[in-house]
Structure 1
Amino acid sequence: MKSTGGFPRSVLLCYIYKSAKLISAFQNARVAMNFDIDLDQNGPNILGSAVVAHQGWLAGYQAGFDANQSKLTKSNFALGFATNEFVLHTSVEDGQTFGGSIYQKLSPKLETGINLAWSAGSHNTKFGIGAKFDLDADAAVRAKVDNACQVGLGYQQRLREGVTLTLSALIDGKNFNNGGHKVGLALELEA
């Protein structure tokens, strides 16, 4: 490793690159707002969002701004309706991707959801369906499938208070024999 001014280059780079992040949030029964500023050497990136609620209806907007390039990086809008039994959600991302979903709790142990998305300028739609079944108070299984034949399976077990184990798999149904499947293991510890 060559040195520059008595410091190895890799160490010198650590002193040159500086960044900071400012995060603020406000929430009450009717409004939730977030405002994040990412300060790095390329200039600040700003991300803000707000959601308002009234009698089960929810409306939200998210905007991102790159101050270095002086341009909007995100402009997303969402509208939803929620009750104790179901949640209906629609969204528009950057005026290009349109989506909708419905979630319903069918019984105390069974939850289901369906989502649909479409991108402007293409004839491709995305569709998915999923479910969660609580085996008991500490264990649950999850399954999902989408129109690309991606099958997701998961098992979650609370081992004790504050310790949860999750096992998961994502199987490519179109290319089952070619591999490329994913498996996961997570151990969540809460303080």
Structure 2
Amino acid sequence: MSVFEYLFGVDYKVYIVDFYQSLKFPRVLAVITQETLPCLREDGSLGQKIVCKNEYGERVECPSQENEYGGENGTENEMAPPFYADLGKKANDVFSKGYHFGVFKLDLKTKSESGVEFSSGIVSNQESGKVFGSLSSKYSVKEYGLTFTEKWNTDNTLATDITIQDKIAAGMKVTLEGTFAPQTGSKTGKLKTSFANDTVAVNTNLDLDMAGPIVDVAAVLKYQGWLAGTNAQFDTQKGKISKNNFAFGYHTSDFALHTNVDNGKDFGGSIYQKVSDKIDCGVSMKWSAGSSDTLFGVGAKFALDQDASLHAKINNKSLIGLGYQQRLRPGVTLTLSAAIDGQNFNAGGHKVGIAFDLEP
């Protein structure tokens, strides 16, 4: 015990610390640098993530800072923009995911100890009675950025994909696809490339047809949440542009607006809103020039809990879609679907569907 503590009965160390903190001297922070690295999102698209390192080059937790757009460390706005085909995806998922009308479906995914991923599926169509099955295997060599995929289906079509990613350049992906039908001898080939960074996402598809390839090019620009995209297709055999599409939209973490014009005559738009942690809503509209027929739909998804969700949608033709998803156990998901024709309710023609997803 010190003399100061003996005479006054207090711990002088505590007072010194409190006095120092009350002065509020500026804190000396360690030097932290940020760099953007490409990453793969859950939906398979290419994105980017921010990694922070200290002065020794070791990865550390990024300091939490609110940027002017409301995202922490700018991750929401610094993520790469979606590719043209993925514009309006959030709203489209509200209308498409959780529904399997008129089919019985079974999907199985598994992975071997050597790292080979296997996917198989079978779909039975209630109206046509046709049963379609598929089997695919996927193997990745991560150190070389290579992915090999083999596919086969009951139409007796074989397909092979070879992909190299982030090796030619950061954010760049190159895929060579080939299909072969032994019964007819038909062969096809495609060369696909894609590149994405913080502000632009570009992808090209080249049909390897010696008679005259079809070149498809798409690009999306992003600025502070605003998106502008274009998609053009050129038929070298016919020597003309066969596709000329434009899109415009706005995207945040809980809101997405998308409009598009296809070939100057087909117009579309969608709105996505995440109302709460449990409710997702979507609005979709389509219209073609020279036609008075407009398709308008509203859809919603409601999460009952972490294992169950309800899906519902309706359009201006009184077609009602209902879906229920339940995770029975980890890796096993059951989906029940029903399509109801509200204009001809008593006439029948309604559809039901059942789907099982099995994944370890």
Shorter-chain TM-score category? 0.7 to 0.9
2:244 alignment counterpart? 75
- Alignment RMSD, CA only? 2.4
| Separation of aligned partners in 1, 2:331 and 2:214 | 35
| Amino acid of the structure 2 residue aligned with 1:158 | R
Structure 1 contact 19–41 (Cα < 8 Å) conserved:
no
| Separation of aligned partners in 2, 1:146 and 1:77 | 25
Give the % identical residues.
55
> In the alignment, is residue 13 of structure 1 matched against residue 13 of structure 2?
no
1:110 alignment counterpart? 279
| Separation of aligned partners in 2, 1:59 and 1:33 | 12
Cα shift at 1:162 = 4.8
| Separation of aligned partners in 1, 2:218 and 2:264 | 16
Cα shift at 1:58 = 0.7
User: Which residue, out of 120, 130, 149, partners 2:318?
Assistant: 149
Cα shift at 1:54 = 0.9
Structure 1 contact 18–40 (Cα < 8 Å) conserved:
no
Q: Deviations over 1:58-115 (max 9, x none)?
A: 1111122222222222211111112233111111111101222211111110011112
Greater length-normalized contact order (CA 8 Å, ≥ 6 residues apart): 2
> In the alignment, is residue 131 of structure 1 matched against residue 306 of structure 2?
no
| Separation of aligned partners in 1, 2:292 and 2:318 | 18
- Give TM-score scaled by structure 1 length: 0.81
Task: Sort the Cα spacing of 1:127 and 1:158 in 2 relative to 1 into closer, same or farther, 3 A.
Answer: same
Between 1:59-68 and 1:124-133, the stretch displaced more is 59-68
Q: Secondary structure at the match of 2:184?
A: helix
Structure with greater strand share of residues:
1
| Separation of aligned partners in 1, 2:237 and 2:295 | 34
| Separation of aligned partners in 2, 1:94 and 1:12 | 37
Task: Sort the Cα spacing of 1:47 and 1:160 in 2 relative to 1 into closer, same or farther, 3 A.
Answer: farther
Q: Secondary structure at the match of 1:174?
A: helix
| Amino acid of the structure 1 residue aligned with 2:334 | L
Structure 1 contact 45–64 (Cα < 8 Å) conserved:
yes
| Amino acid of the structure 1 residue aligned with 2:342 | G
User: Which residue, out of 42, 47, 50, partners 2:219?
Assistant: 50
- Give TM-score scaled by structure 2 length: 0.46
